[in-house]
Structure 1
Amino acid sequence: MPLKILHILSQRPDATGSGFFVQNMLRLSAAKGHENYLMCGVPAGDIPVLDCIDRDRCRFVLFDGPDLAFPIPGMSDVMPYPSSVFGELTEEQLLAYQQVFTETIQQAAKEFSPDIIHSHHLWLVTAITRRILPDIPMVTSCHSTDLRQFIECKHLRPQVYEDCRKIERILALSKDQSQMIQSLYQIDSHRIDIVGAGFNREIFNWGPKEALPIHLLYAGKLSFAKGVDWLLRACRQVAGLPVQLHLAGSGGGHEAEVCRALAEELAIPVTFHGKLSQPQLAALMRTAHIFILPSFYEGLPLVLFEALASGCRIITTKLPGSHELLKNVRHDLVQFVNLPPLQAVDRPAPEDWQSLEAQLAEAVRHMVDLALKTPAPTASEACELTTSHTWERVFSRVMTNYRQVLRA
């Protein structure tokens, strides 16, 4: 039976992993005959046009505009667009945020009359939704950045803890994330299902690699939490290699400025591509030999699936989600960089930086040596490695949770 699904996201649906997750849920549920409605936060002067849902089936909270006078608070403290930081919002801003989302969610529910709600992030807007719509079955996808906010913003925990514990089903990206949810929110494991995350195999697929130069690629926000400054410092030590570094993604403020300044000092060529569409990123990945994700905090990074499917070798930090994804991939295709205990949730202590830079530089040298001998895995290998991580598989697992909630 077709369902009426209300999708709720507190930030832009056209950027970051959670936004792409929402888009794929919208696209696949519509293909299965379900009816969708999207409520999300967007900048007043830059409302995105999505190909997965009609504009008249959306309701927006407008930031930097008529609804709220400040930029969208990001689930990460550095977003690929102008944003606020939850931990720095004033009491007045928080009250306004909660009031506007309360009113907009109520309007969306009244207009659409959903059978089920699928919200994203175990955080303020999800808590509001559960509080004001207690009788509508609800599932929530966790994306890890919400757990970071819970850890960092102790003053906001009372506003989310009890209401998030009342959600019928939580959708986790990985086993490690599921365990964190259980620990932080005291939610029983039988109410949490690991659905994972996926990639669009119609966009991200294998491409042949040229022999030289060896193209190194990072894709994501230009931020310290993602380790971009670490990557650039490590690249000081690979000056003699036939490599070119590509940075795909946007960022603003001090952290992006530092990254650009570090890049200017390097002896190897560096190209900043800015924000790319999914097809543009896929085209860049098909030419890249090595994909590098030096992040200090991740849930289940979708970009690793996309890079593998495109025939890239991988260098990534040995975070639980990344290791869970890639632990069975053979060693000449994936190299993990071990992290020390972090000083903050997403930053190493100063005394560990020299060792970290040396480790990452050595990982780059090793993978470049392999790429010089064999530029890429074969197309069949790339397909085999990623076949269980498509959005179709993820949506099937999500639908199972919808049915369980509706039967309860």
Structure 2
Amino acid sequence: MLKLIKNGEVYSPKYIGKKDILLTGTKVGYVDDNINLPDNFVDIEVIDATGCIVTPGFIDGHVHITGGGGEGGFKTRTPEIQLSDITRGGVTTVIGVLGTDGTTRTMSNLLAKAYALEEEGISCYALTGSYQVPVRTITGSIQDDIILIEKIIGVGEIALSDHRSSQPTIEEIAKVAAEARVGGILSGKAGTVTIHMGDGHRNLSFIKKITEKTEIPPSQFVLTHVLRNPELFKEAIDYAKNGGIVDFTTSTTNSPEEKKLTPGKALKIMLEEGVSIDNITFTSDGQGSLPIFDKQNRFVDLGIGRVTSLYTAVREAILNDEVPMEVVLKVITSNPANIYALKSKGNIEVGKDADIVLLKKDDLNINTVIAKGKVMYENGEVKIKGTFEE
């Protein structure tokens, strides 16, 4: 069935005005000022977007789709994510990662879950590895994983400046980045390396030395969790000015520093400092554990990341921090699509995937979520549930 979205104000994410959008199966088939189809042409579902803002489906580049954690023992391993945990937040594309646990959470499990979410109706990719170096892969090689396994598009998340990391050397991280880069070049994928930034005193020193002393460009790395403390954030500003990619986590712990510097405030500061919006993304850290440690790095409490926090942070950046909508939408649409080389994602254009979100114009809350041409969520109701959801 064709779907015709009429009378919406379209942000692609750049504002392009009031447009009608024809969805043909899983793709955007036509975008124009006024689309009228002949009577009795074919079955077509008309979605009236009057009073709505129409945006591309959101891309969440950092989700623990198989669950995360265990920092407080086996009982603190968070469960696998459910489909509606993703779609109710407007997210139509996720990139799955492991995390601290690369033993009871395996790459085979991650890949299987990525395929499962794809079968349930959204787009899903994966990064190879976990916090540890040497990187635990499927084939035994980072390069082979990226080249030979369709869904694997890069490496991560590898932990640095964190008491939970495997304490790799600069040379080891450089070799990981080099292998990922070549794998990406040979397969037409991004080949990025996502780096989990901890709260340690070394901050970005390893990454800066690699990009200064080798031929690996700053854009090869995606540095996530950079809002942990003021010093790390300051270094992240300089890094992004030099072409590096920085990522703000929208799920947060109870850290006073992380509460102080919200993603919206951080985005506004970076833009005022001259950082290109194209070098910034938001991700949720969804379904990951959010452990809280004391000053001696002893576990004291645990939270859980939510994919729904992604758009919440974007909405707050628009309403509270007064960042223009077509600017802030880029951090969850066209920016991750470009950074991760997801060529059919990130914009509302003919031939791109039919991933669409309708926002109510009066309060900017999510009204409708369409993934690959199917309505997944509408008017506060989940329309398509995951296989084991009640």
TM class, shorter-length: 0.3 to 0.5
- Structure number with the higher helix fraction is 1
Q: TM-score, normalised by structure 1?
A: 0.31
Length-normalised TM-score, structure 2: 0.32
The structure with the greater share of residues assigned to strand is 2
Q: Using CA pairs under 8 Å that are at least 6 residues apart, name the structure with larger relative contact order, 1 or 2.
A: 2
